[in-house]
Amino acid sequence: MTGAAGSGRRVPAGHVPVPGPRTWPDGTGGASAGRVQGPGPGVALLYEKSRPGRRAGTLPSYPLAKVEVPEGLRRSAPPRLPEVSEPDLVRHFTALSARNYGVDTGFYPLGSCTMKHNPRVGERLAALPGFRDLHPHQELDGCQGALDLMWRLQVLLAEVAGLDAVTLQPAAGSQGELLGLMLVRACLAARGESGRAEVIVPDTAHGTNPASVAMAGFDVVPVATDARGNVDVGEVRARVSGRTAALMLTNPSTLGLFDEGVEELTRLVHDAGGLCYYDGANLNAVCGISRPGDMGFDIVHFNLHKTFATPHGGGGPGAGPLAVTAELEPFLPVPVLVRRADGSFALEREAERPLSVGQVRGFPGPFGVLVRAYAFLRAWGPGLREMSQAAVLNANYLLARLRDAYELPYDRLCMHELVLSARNLKRDHGVSALDVAKRLMDYGFHPPTIYFPLVVPEALMIEPTETESKETLDAFADAMLAIAREAQTDPQLVRSAPHATVVKRLDEARAVKQPIVRHRFDP
């Protein structure tokens, strides 16, 4: 487990088994816990509570024939399992669960991930028996209501994006990226332009962007960020050519800045014969205010689990629908959900969609996520604009409160997130962004994303989201300011944080590369 993974040693007797450190996709060392809640480090291993003969349950015995397991597959000795009573078992795992940190326990400003409150009504709707109990192979006659919901969600998302058609198939933003690039390839082939092999990707891009470009078989052409934090238009102008397949842009960028040259960028790429892909992971900043389609983009992916409120983290579930222009619609993955003239819903397959790139997922959409997103969109309605306005206001409030204590690499108003740098603390006191993040855990907050985007040294990427109160934002800002003061007065306190958590600082890279996921007995 964690401590052991960090040190590469066995779990010492009496060591507390807590869930391992999470390393987030953006490379941050997510916290294993914030302020320690529930029982302290006194929780013993389940094995240490074990007493021979105790049971947390009994299995019924059935008069069934004994299955003969081949000799070679049989155990020679019974497994050594903890033997505990049901109350002890329940208390053990409840104590461990109380050490988790999530959006339901506290502020979670993990930049780029949009960790916002998920309205409980979404859970209730996703759990309605008519939705919840559907079988993936349900015949179409028996799930018209579910298809209706999916179709309506497609219509709403097309409106949010300012584009013509939507597929709900991708299971994540990253899969949406890959599919988007497959559509680029199919579209270019249909235009007789298959030779185009390059995709322009800014140096602030999320790691999934260049990865998707490579997986789709294109070459990454990186472009730099200019002094104001925009994509360097001059560099893009110099890089576009007859080899350009597409531009892949995140707007607002991972710097939390709206790209001021966005229309110029899409025009340059279109004039050169390429397509424009919009990474919509940061759509939380612009919903109902500006639309990627109006900025000149041909393809947009949504992260329903970020912008449209679905519980996420730890790998899912999520959904990464894609919106495209009419030109790209024929290539969308099958089955394609359509509404017939009589108002019923149908799935079109290869026969009706001969140009389709094929199916990219076993079943159409992670359905519960789609229900939550639909409920969320309908609940906000046109007020979705207020959602984005509040998200941007909250981020700018934190920016205003923190800009004197931390460096602001690009001195502009931000969008839904802000990127600060702890470079000043590092230079003056030897306190890094990692140290600040770890110390925040002592103050009861989940750390922000750190060391991303890569172009900002000692980056602290903070996304408060629209669902936080002024009191919460103030408490977080107070903690950040207190840590900046501690860096001056007692830098070692910050460098050795966290102090209040169940486990101290972990070797996160090693914990991922050499995880120890089972108990080992001392000899």
Ligand X SMILES: *Cc1c(COP(=O)(O)O)cnc(C)c1O
In the complex, which residues of this chain contact ligand X (CB under 6 A)?
A: 25, 112, 172-174, 206, 208, 250, 254, 279, 281-282, 303, 318, 320
Minimum CB separation of residue 169 from ligand X in Å reads: 14
Smallest CA-to-CA distance from 120 within 372, 462, 438, 390 is with 372
Q: Which two tokens stand for residue 255?
A: 């710097």
Minimum CB separation of residue 254 from ligand X in Å reads: 6
CA distance 219 to 62: 61
CB nearer ligand X, residue 6 or residue 280:
280
Smallest CA-to-CA distance from 180 within 151, 206, 149, 218 is with 218
Minimum CB separation of residue 257 from ligand X in Å reads: 13
Q: Which two tokens stand for residue 83?
A: 């033997």
Minimum CB separation of residue 303 from ligand X in Å reads: 5
Dihedral sign for Cα atoms in the order 374, 178, 164, 139:
negative
Minimum CB separation of residue 452 from ligand X in Å reads: 9
CB nearer ligand X, residue 239 or residue 416:
416
SS3 459: strand
CA distance 134 to 137: 8
Minimum CB separation of residue 469 from ligand X in Å reads: 24
SS3 377: helix
Please give the distance of CA 4 from its chain centroid, rounded to a whole number. Answer: 27
**Parallel, antiparallel or unpaired: strands 449-450 and 459-462:** antiparallel
Q: Which two tokens stand for residue 328?
A: 């790209």
CB nearer ligand X, residue 168 or residue 502:
168
CB distance 4 to 514 below 8 Å: no
Minimum CB separation of residue 314 from ligand X in Å reads: 12
CA distance 349 to 352: 6
CB nearer ligand X, residue 168 or residue 497:
168
CB nearer ligand X, residue 201 or residue 431:
201
Q: Which residues contact 158 (CB under 8 A, 6 or more apart)?
A: 164, 165, 166, 323
CB nearer ligand X, residue 281 or residue 484:
281
Question: 20, exposed or middle or buried, with CB in 10 Å at 0-12, 13-18, 19+?
Answer: buried
CB nearer ligand X, residue 225 or residue 501:
225
CB nearer ligand X, residue 319 or residue 479:
319
Query: Which residue's C-beta sits nearest to ligand X?
Result: 173
CA distance 3 to 10: 9
Q: Which two tokens stand for residue 103?
A: 């959006």
Smallest CA-to-CA distance from 323 within 157, 175, 148 is with 157
Minimum CB separation of residue 282 from ligand X in Å reads: 6
CA distance 304 to 389: 18
Minimum CB separation of residue 449 from ligand X in Å reads: 9
CB nearer ligand X, residue 254 or residue 394:
254
